[in-house]
Amino acid sequence: MSQVFEGYERQYCELSANLTKKCNSATILDGEQKKQKVSEIKAGLDDAEVLIRKMDLEARSLPPNVKATLLAKLREYKSDLNNLKTEVKRITSGNANQAARDELLESGMADANMVSADQRQRLMMSTERLNHSSDRIRDSRKTMLETEDLGVSILQDLHQQRQSLLHAHDTLHGVDDNISRSKKILTTMSRRMSRNKWIIGTIIVVLVLAILLVLYFKLAH
């Protein structure tokens, strides 16, 4: 949630509670004291309207998922402000006699206090629920970022493994080439050895025949 909005929100809640207390005290005042108190309340209402407008502008400048949450909260605050304005009009509109004021103090103001307290309680509960929603959104975003980092890490590992496999393939290809060359060399050597055997065998046969001829001629003479 926007920290700026939260700052305006705290100011409004404090101002709303203060104005409610002033409305309660204004009902039992007379004459100039009552006029002064009403003047203070109206000035506070003007400040509250300014805070409402600031919160509205801040909420509308945020992303859609956050904006919807804050605008829902803002509607509660606008309703609270309208109730305060109605209360001020009620205080300033009538010239009630002392009996009416006594009755208001005994019954009506008690009900008004209960309603205002109940409304503030609902606002606080709504604020708490919205804060929990914002926390869940932040947690979801954190999880999404962690998942994205994990995906990037896995892709990097796969890329490294692919490079290793390509390098191993190149190495095996080189080994195959070396084996083929060695096989050719061994084949050539085998052929040369066979040819040399035939040559040596032929030479031995020739030498044996020569020896036999020499012996024949010697024995014949």
Mean pLDDT, residues 146-163: 82
More confident site: 121 or 41: 41
- In this prediction, residue 66 carries a pLDDT of 86
| Cα–Cα distance for residue pair 97/116, rounded to 1 Å | 25
pLDDT tens column, 61-109: 888 888 888 899 899 999 999 999 999 998 887 544 443 555 545 555 5
- Using 50, 70 and 90 to split pLDDT, how confident is the model at 34? confident
| Cα–Cα distance for residue pair 204/208, rounded to 1 Å | 6
| Cα–Cα distance for residue pair 165/159, rounded to 1 Å | 10
pLDDT tens column, 161-215: 998 888 888 888 777 788 888 888 888 888 888 888 899 989 999 998 989 888 8
3-state SS class at 95: coil
pLDDT tens column, 2-17: 788 889 999 999 999 9
pLDDT surpassing 90 at residue 18: yes
- In this prediction, residue 111 carries a pLDDT of 56
- In this prediction, residue 96 carries a pLDDT of 47
Q: Which residue has the tokens 């100039």?
A: 32
- In this prediction, residue 27 carries a pLDDT of 83
pTM recorded for the entire structure: 0.42
Mean predicted lDDT score pLDDT of the chain: 82
Q: Which pair of tokens denotes residue 220?
A: 């014949």
pLDDT surpassing 60 at residue 160: yes
CA 52 to chain CA mean position, Å: 29
**Burial bucket for residue 91 (CB in 10 Å: 0-12, 13-18, 19+):** buried
| Cα–Cα distance for residue pair 56/50, rounded to 1 Å | 10
Q: Which pair of tokens denotes residue 175?
A: 């080994």
| Cα–Cα distance for residue pair 53/25, rounded to 1 Å | 28
pLDDT surpassing 80 at residue 32: yes
